[in-house]
């Protein structure tokens, strides 16, 4: 995928295989706009560059607020996804233990008179 020509951006390949996307500041000095996550420009790179373009907003102040909200929201949703995946992993790992504890798999639960007497003597039952 290529960058739109009217953006005036260029790319330089890095030693690690990624690309640096370069632009020019108002004074003509080059600056790095973004470093890609892959060896080529992806649709995600294009979308994030569009979102950060201050010229694309009719009102810069509201545009900046909207952009900052989207950044904060992305971080929040990423954290929520990670927590959800962690909970799913823990639930899956606990499954065999819970089934065994309820006597549904490879374990039996029982009680004897002797066990109850010993329990009561240790823990002060009736």
Signed CA dihedral, 89, 92, 93, 97: sign only: positive
Q: How many domains does the chain have?
A: 1
Residue 17 lies in a domain: yes
Note if the pTM is more than 0.85. no
> Which residues of the chain carry a pLDDT beneath 70?
54, 74-75, 101-110, 125-126
Q: Kindly state whether residue 73 falls inside one of the protein's structural domains.
A: no
Please tell me the predicted confidence (pLDDT) of residue 104: 55
Q: Is 57 left (phi over 0), alpha (psi -120 to 50) or beta?
A: beta
The reply to whether 52 falls in a domain is yes
Judge whether 44 lies within some domain: yes
Specify if 92 maps to a domain: no
SS3 content of the chain, % helix, strand, coil (to 5): 55, 15, 35
Residue 29 lies in a domain: yes
Domain that holds residue 28: 1-56
pLDDT in tens, 69-96: 777 776 677 788 889 899 989 988 888 8
Asked whether residue 107 is assigned to any structural domain, the reply reads no
| CA–CA distance, 121 with 38 (Å, rounded to integer) | 68
d(CA 126, CA 104): 30
pLDDT at 98: 75
């Amino acid at each position: 995928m290529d960058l739109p020509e009217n953006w005036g951006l260029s790319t330089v390949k890095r030693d690690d295989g990624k690309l640096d996307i370069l632009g020019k500041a108002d004074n003509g000095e080059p600056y790095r706009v973004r470093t890609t996550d892959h060896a080529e420009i992806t649709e995600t790179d294009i979308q994030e560059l569009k979102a950060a373009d201050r010229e694309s907003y009719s009102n810069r102040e509201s545009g900046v607020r909207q952009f900052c909200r989207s950044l904060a929201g992305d971080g929040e949703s990423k954290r929520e996804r990670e927590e959800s995946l962690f909970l799913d992993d823990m639930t899956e790992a606990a499954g065999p233990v819970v089934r065994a504890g309820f006597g549904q798999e490879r374990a039996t639960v029982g009680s004897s008179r002797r066990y109850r007497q010993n329990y009561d003597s240790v823990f002060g039952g009736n």
